[in-house]
Amino acid sequence: MRILLAEDDSLLGDGLQAGLRQLGFQVDWVRDGEAAERELRAQAYAAAVLDLGMPRKDGLAVLASLRQSRIATPVLILTARDTVPDRVRGLDTGADDYVVKPVDLHELAARLRALVRRSHGQPQEMLTVQDVVLDPAARTVTQADAPVPLSTREFDLLQAFMLSAGRVLTREQLEQSLYSWGREVESNAIEVHVHNLRRKLGAHLIHTVRGVGYMLVRELPKP
């Protein structure tokens, strides 16, 4: 899943970006508040990690502006401001989670996965559709209890489909969820990955909605 990291500390930002990428996230990194707000208005991120004390525009002002515009991207505040009033102000402004630095990388990743699940109405850790079960933390997929080996892109695409099961996703939406800045997207990349998922999981799972995009079907049609 693709997230935005807004952090002006170069050392910390570099470490978070590298670490989260190793844990399966696609990470775009900005270093000031104005850039963070611009990207969150322009792109459909699964979630954002937002520092508060950033140059050009404070993180709380960014968050308030986004929520006033009804932009509902899940936001995790990651900051050194650790007083109770700071936490209350951040959550009341519209943050979905509030974490004080320093944070364990695996805990941060778990919190992000939980935010994304909840934003899609998926309270359970495991994503289950028909007989397919996806574990976002372990990055494994099983079908009828048998392991299904997937490439990184295939896993990310299946996760995007399962988070939005029953909804049509356009090619542009799928590309945005799979590729961070600087990653070249081949013109037929989504089609190739969908083809591979159908080959490995069955053609019945992902439907093509002609002229619009693709949809993962929640239940098999009744005979």
Rounded average pLDDT per 10-residue block, the chain, 223 residues: 93 94 91 95 92 92 94 94 93 94 93 90 86 92 94 91 90 80 66 93 90 85 51
CATH number, domain 127-216, options 1.20.950.20, 3.30.1330.10, 1.20.59.20, 1.10.10.10: 1.10.10.10
The per-residue pLDDT for 200 is 95
The per-residue pLDDT for 27 is 92
**Residue 51: in which H helix or E strand, if any?**
none
The per-residue pLDDT for 188 is 80
The CATH fold assigned to 2-119 is Rossmann fold (3.40.50)
Closest-CA residue to 14 (of 25, 27, 24, 23): 27
The per-residue pLDDT for 14 is 93
Q: What Rg, from alpha-carbon coordinates, does the chain have?
A: 18
Distance of CA 111 to the CA centre of its chain: 11
The per-residue pLDDT for 221 is 53
Domain boundaries, the chain: 2-119, 127-216
CA-CA distance, 217 to 131, in Å (whole number)?
Answer: 12
* Residue that is written with structure tokens 């807004």 in the block: 6
pTM: 0.80
The per-residue pLDDT for 181 is 55
